[in-house]
Structure 1
């Protein structure tokens, strides 16, 4: 079983919930780690979050129009990169024209949100 950290803007928590729901399917090869920021950022949150990211096999980043302004999501991407944890960006919706990918996430790492794209990436971790 692979452990996957989900990075997302808080405004997109419904998309995170949908991805977590997919992981509950019996054919899912992974489980998710949640470090959602429900309080103002603190150094202790960053320390715990970094530990969680380091303990995961990969990070899935849900990218929407909210991502560029999501300091937590952008920090998590940067952290995954610093810790050499592989990450994959998935578009949060079908119409992503005009959505800017945060600079911490190389655009070549972006994929459409499909079970095939997600599971093949996870299976290759």
Structure 2
């Protein structure tokens, strides 16, 4: 069975370690997903947006890792806006337990931040929301 392709969106300046954790989970033998690509750390311009759009269109779902400063991460909001316009599903993951995790500015008010557990991750990647 083919694994679900996931694009990781995260705040490069504050939450790169969280991306590493998700990369590790993707390597589990029972993981239902593979990481096709993740955020681009470059200045946001037309070229950046084109590159992000290509990457997002090549995946099944976008996993947005939320931390304490995600609302100020312009790249994360741009990636969510692209996913929304391209109708690529996305979900928000709480990056830290015991800390405040905030939604990116481009997230919809109805978007929920889900606790990052292995069970939740499998359900979310499978389309359950």
Same fold (TM over 0.5): yes
Deviations 1:27-50 (A, max 9, x none): 011111334333323322210110
5+ long unaligned stretches in structure 1: none
Structure (1 or 2) with the greater helix fraction: 1
| Alpha carbons 2:69, 2:102 under 8 Å: kept | no
Aligned length: 124
Q: Equivalent residue for 2:27?
A: 24
For residues 36 and 112 of structure 1, the distance between their equivalents in structure 2, rounded to whole angstroms, comes to: 21
TM-score of the aligned structures, taking structure 1 as reference length? 0.89
5+ long unaligned stretches in structure 2: none
For residues 44 and 103 of structure 2, the distance between their equivalents in structure 1, rounded to whole angstroms, comes to: 23
Deviations 1:20-67 (A, max 9, x none): 110000101111133433332332221011011011110010011121
For residues 96 and 104 of structure 1, the distance between their equivalents in structure 2, rounded to whole angstroms, comes to: 21
How far is the alpha carbon of 1:123 from its aligned partner? 2.0
For residues 124 and 40 of structure 1, the distance between their equivalents in structure 2, rounded to whole angstroms, comes to: 31
| Alpha carbons 1:58, 1:86 under 8 Å: kept | yes
Of 7, 12, 16, 1:5 maps to 7
Q: Equivalent residue for 1:78?
A: 81
Q: CA RMSD in A?
A: 1.7
For residues 104 and 82 of structure 1, the distance between their equivalents in structure 2, rounded to whole angstroms, comes to: 11
Q: Equivalent residue for 2:36?
A: 33
TM-score of the aligned structures, taking structure 2 as reference length? 0.87
